[in-house]
């Protein structure tokens, strides 16, 4: 009877870890990939290739919203990380994307310069 109780307790702990930790961590990783691709599509595919100023402004707003969501998901993923290596990888991606001279800075600067030049 005691062994059965311990077994149920272990099973409950495993299920709790899967549901409350591993599954959200996997979902955060998937969201990072999706948001990164969405931001690239909005910036390059929409904003940079659009000749219509109004449409370009919509793409630029979409890009900013996607990137802000990406920033939040990266924070969540860092919180859910289990190992130092996972944290380092997330922090490296965050620096690449949001650091000084990073992807977001470059795209925002380039987009602002293009938008100003087109006005």
Q: Express each pLDDT in 70-114 by its tens digit.
A: 999 999 999 988 889 999 999 999 998 888 877 777 666 655 544
Q: Report the chain's mean pLDDT, rounded to a whole number.
A: 77
> So where are the chain's domains?
23-118
What mean pLDDT comes out for the span 56-83? 88
CA distance 13 to 107: 44
Q: Residue 20 above 80 pLDDT?
A: no
Report the predicted TM-score, pTM, of the whole model to 2 decimal places. Answer: 0.71
Nearest Cα residue to 67 out of 33, 39, 37, 109: 39
């Amino acid at each position: 009877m005691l062994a059965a109780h311990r077994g149920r307790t272990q099973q409950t702990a495993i299920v709790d870890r899967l549901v409350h930790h591993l599954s959200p961590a996997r979902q955060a990783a998937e969201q990072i990939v999706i948001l990164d691709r969405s931001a690239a599509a909005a910036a390059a595919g929409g904003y940079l290739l659009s000749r219509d100023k109004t449409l370009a402004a919509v793409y630029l707003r979409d890009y900013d919203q996607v990137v802000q969501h990406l920033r939040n998901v990266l924070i969540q993923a860092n919180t859910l990380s289990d190992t130092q290596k996972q944290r380092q990888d997330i922090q490296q991606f965050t620096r690449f994307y949001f650091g000084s001279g990073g992807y977001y800075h470059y795209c925002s600067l380039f987009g602002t310069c293009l938008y100003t030049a087109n006005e």
